[in-house]
Structure 1
């Protein structure tokens, strides 16, 4: 089986196709293009047409590389530059069209988790606590974990591209500009000392292009086997000062496309070493794209990280598990009846959202749907992209009350069928005990009109539900949609 991972990084875009051998993945093909997306913002914080053109061209070539891999076997993600762009949503549509696959925009924490997973899979097994430092084009991720799983993750908005633009935009390198860049990065990282500083880990590794470049220089210069010390970084700083300009940089082992951002990358790395008290770091391959492949393997082999996340959130919130499962079962059944063409992926998100519909109950029992929306919107949810969380959060918000609050999202973020299925499930399960659903049929009479025929005998035996269904009909009428409940 082949799996594909696409990393839309802030500096480079990468695509990797892996061949699955049991629980191991080997690289079948790999392709990288330097895009400098983090250097393509205009004054309003939007990606410029030129930056978008570079990106879309690369994605169209990646599409050819991916061939005809089915959608469930490919995961494409965007990182800090796409998180920050003010026109991210507009660009995302064009990017997905060019690539031919859905693209998730990762949160900083989710990016960090996947980086650790990728590095852990390529490093020798160890019981030691490991620190992974991943310096990208526009962000730096710090992760501590053991084995294959991350325990602490954080993302900081400093990378080789944005730091180079901020402090070395004209290409000139001076002692003052390097000092200012290092101090600015240290200020950004200051809050990380307690959780990631010396004493929190036993060995440290560097990942991604910036550290890889420093490691290559150290190896090619005969300083080490690729291990990087603070002394090595100071030697590189000295040689950059002697070069005085990016155009004059000459390092053994340094790739041509790294010259433009080496000064910014060095400043970030110096700040990391000094802030966290790092003495040496070794290179770790794999990083985000390998983490994506292994996370994807879990999805296709019934070890989905997202299932674990939802389960953990349910436990942490101490929700009524029986009620959550009851509502999820009813929602899934009704949604399938209302939308028979729903994909397996759609059904998963509907079920996950329904399972989490009361995750805000321990904050407030009267406005729990709004608190549930906030939790699902903002929690760190391993395995989920930012858009995924937005979809589920809106779905959770739709469960009760007036529909004005989600009117603009209907049929764009969530479907009417999904919202209606969850609202009906909450109504049928209002007594919080097992319920046998009435016989129901759904008849569409137009794009905004639905007739629901129910067993009249059942309704007579459940008078409160009958009243709640009448209220439901009135709620839909207020946003110009007609839902009629009829007896048979």
Structure 2
């Protein structure tokens, strides 16, 4: 049940702070964010390698030493929570706190420090929250994702589509537990590595059939283990922008050649990550092998983000990008009556030409809509060159849900929606990448021209036809006579488009 306090907190009209803390088996993480205009804005993140899982003794009890280390970390976290009401803070514990026989004693001490209870969540609940965090970080595209999150003592496997999970599993293997089991001496041998991979593979075999039957189009890794492996592959020139099967094979070879975890420094692995790196790498190799993964992308979103969105009550089937666009428009005081009219006119243009111009994919419709809604955000800085200001804001803002590539495409449409349109705007793109953006940009430009009068009313007394690079715009004769400025603007536009080797022909209906 939602209390009155929570209802006030969840109001989109009131900016409020919220905090989520994840007490993992390897690391403790905290995120503090502000919820305003329907958008979550992260304002602070903290993380420390507490290695709680390594502090379990032979009787499955947390040692005094690790408890002291963990509570010291929470005292530092607590300093960030002083201005946040307890009802807006959520703390979850994972595998080690599920296993520790003296977990309740630790939880009691932790509560005294943080002022809120620690929720020890089950493995599948952890998996659900991980997916929630990942799905709010990545673009809300159609298609299923496999998400893998390697913690210190457990690994979560999730298949989901958009914001809904389809399969959830949590296996008892993690970077801390496997590093202790197979590399406790610090030595790295081929035999030990293979034993670790085989042990992980045996665990994953339990879910192989279930997950393969469900299927996925994209594989995503979250958590510090994947981040560390991803950065190591990139920094050493083994992979370019993702984790690949070939890259893992090469990294495995180099790690074994080092022979000792202290040698991981040569690969750029951070000191605090070195003791758990090899165990995590073995699990990743097993994932790729058993589940036949060829490529996996890394996501910043993870458990703490999922806890945050869960606390916000954001478990809804919606595109995080839509919230982002709306929040951005509100933040920069966009004239939304006008921008929505431009959006409708742009959609009308697209509807008439999408087949001829190969702009059938829903992504193009979305991209054009978003650009129409944000094309004037640069006015918040200055009217002069506002299209350039807007492009800069879009490219360099933190836009939840957008990949860097999509964010760049959106900025290019805003950059090119007025004034001169020249090929150099699209420098760095291949022809296949640039052509649809140029065409979307032209449609946005036409929509802006048609709404020059800013009446807020959609202009629909026209038809648009295209043949390759020739556009024919036909108007109702009476409408064009009543709007001579539009005709002047279109004549200037024809000159601008000629610089891109496009021809614009304006006609009056007979």
Could you say whether these structures have the same fold, taking a TM-score greater than 0.5 normalized by the shorter chain as the test? yes
C-alpha RMSD over aligned residues: 1.8
Which of 164, 188, 191 pairs up with 1:173?
A: 188
Q: Which residue of structure 1 lines up, in the alignment, with residue 164 of structure 2?
A: 149
Is 1:19 the counterpart of 2:25? The answer is: no
Task: Describe the shift of the 1:96–1:84 C-alpha distance in structure 2 as closer, same or farther (beyond 3 A).
Answer: same
Is 1:82 the counterpart of 2:97? The answer is: yes
Distance across 2 between alignment mates of 1:280 and 1:233:
10
> Gaps spanning 5+ residues in structure 2: where?
1-15, 319-510
Q: Which residue of structure 2 lines up, in the alignment, with residue 96 of structure 1?
A: 111
Q: Over residues 449-475 of structure 1, what are the superposed CA-to-partner deviations in whole Å (9 max), with x where a residue is unaligned?
A: xxxxxxxxxxxxxxxxxxxxxxxxxxx
Contact 2:265 / 2:271 at 8 angstroms: preserved in 1? Answer: no
Is 1:273 the counterpart of 2:288? The answer is: yes
Deviation of 1:130 (Å): 0.5
Distance across 1 between alignment mates of 2:267 and 2:256:
16
Q: Which residue of structure 2 lines up, in the alignment, with residue 131 of structure 1?
A: 146
Q: Which residue of structure 2 lines up, in the alignment, with residue 282 of structure 1?
A: 297
Task: Describe the shift of the 1:251–1:153 C-alpha distance in structure 2 as closer, same or farther (beyond 3 A).
Answer: farther
Deviation of 1:300 (Å): 12
Contact 2:98 / 2:121 at 8 angstroms: preserved in 1? Answer: yes
> Gaps spanning 5+ residues in structure 1: where?
304-488
Deviation of 1:255 (Å): 2.0
Distance across 2 between alignment mates of 1:277 and 1:247:
31
Contact 1:226 / 1:283 at 8 angstroms: preserved in 2? Answer: no
Distance across 2 between alignment mates of 1:300 and 1:172:
45
Q: Which residue of structure 2 lines up, in the alignment, with residue 295 of structure 1?
A: 310
Which of 234, 238, 256 pairs up with 1:241?
A: 256
Q: Which residue of structure 1 lines up, in the alignment, with residue 86 of structure 2?
A: 71
Q: Which residue of structure 2 lines up, in the alignment, with residue 62 of structure 1?
A: 77
Distance across 2 between alignment mates of 1:24 and 1:293:
12
Distance across 2 between alignment mates of 1:199 and 1:9:
28
Distance across 1 between alignment mates of 2:201 and 2:163:
29
Task: Describe the shift of the 1:65–1:188 C-alpha distance in structure 2 as closer, same or farther (beyond 3 A).
Answer: same
Task: Describe the shift of the 1:300–1:265 C-alpha distance in structure 2 as closer, same or farther (beyond 3 A).
Answer: closer
Deviation of 1:257 (Å): 1.1
Contact 1:210 / 1:262 at 8 angstroms: preserved in 2? Answer: yes
Q: Which residue of structure 1 lines up, in the alignment, with residue 234 of structure 2?
A: 219
Is 1:7 the counterpart of 2:13? The answer is: no
Q: Which residue of structure 1 lines up, in the alignment, with residue 209 of structure 2?
A: 194
Q: Over residues 204-261 of structure 1, what are the superposed CA-to-partner deviations in whole Å (9 max), with x where a residue is unaligned?
A: 0000011111111121122333300111111111111111011122354422211111
TM-score, normalised via structure 1 length:
0.60
Which of 46, 49, 57 pairs up with 1:31?
A: 46
Structure 1 SS opposite 2:60: coil
Task: Describe the shift of the 1:222–1:213 C-alpha distance in structure 2 as closer, same or farther (beyond 3 A).
Answer: same
Distance across 1 between alignment mates of 2:83 and 2:314:
19
Distance across 1 between alignment mates of 2:117 and 2:202:
36
Task: Describe the shift of the 1:253–1:125 C-alpha distance in structure 2 as closer, same or farther (beyond 3 A).
Answer: farther
Distance across 1 between alignment mates of 2:271 and 2:293:
28
Contact 1:130 / 1:203 at 8 angstroms: preserved in 2? Answer: yes
Matches within 5 A, 1:451-462: none
Contact 1:15 / 1:31 at 8 angstroms: preserved in 2? Answer: yes
Deviation of 1:149 (Å): 1.9
Distance across 1 between alignment mates of 2:197 and 2:71:
33
Distance across 1 between alignment mates of 2:35 and 2:170:
30
Q: Which residue of structure 1 lines up, in the alignment, with residue 176 of structure 2?
A: 161
Deviation of 1:198 (Å): 7.5
Deviation of 1:296 (Å): 0.9
Deviation of 1:139 (Å): 0.5
Q: Over residues 116-161 of structure 1, what are the superposed CA-to-partner deviations in whole Å (9 max), with x where a residue is unaligned?
A: 0100001012111011000011110000011112121100010100
Q: Find runs of 4+ consecutive structure 1 residues off by over 4 angstroms.
A: none
Contact 1:215 / 1:227 at 8 angstroms: preserved in 2? Answer: yes
Which of 53, 58, 62 pairs up with 1:43?
A: 58
Q: Which residue of structure 2 lines up, in the alignment, with residue 184 of structure 1?
A: 199
Which stretch of structure 1 is more off in the superposition, 246-255 or 47-56?
Answer: 246-255
Is 1:261 the counterpart of 2:282? The answer is: no
Structure 2 SS opposite 1:130: strand
Distance across 1 between alignment mates of 2:315 and 2:111:
22
Contact 2:133 / 2:309 at 8 angstroms: preserved in 1? Answer: yes
Deviation of 1:265 (Å): 0.4
Q: Over residues 15-61 of structure 1, what are the superposed CA-to-partner deviations in whole Å (9 max), with x where a residue is unaligned?
A: 11011123321210011111000100111010000010010110111
Deviation of 1:271 (Å): 0.9
TM-score, normalised via structure 2 length:
0.58
Q: Over residues 281-331 of structure 1, what are the superposed CA-to-partner deviations in whole Å (9 max), with x where a residue is unaligned?
A: 000111111111111111899x9xxxxxxxxxxxxxxxxxxxxxxxxxxxx
Distance across 2 between alignment mates of 1:102 and 1:123:
30
Distance across 2 between alignment mates of 1:299 and 1:180:
42
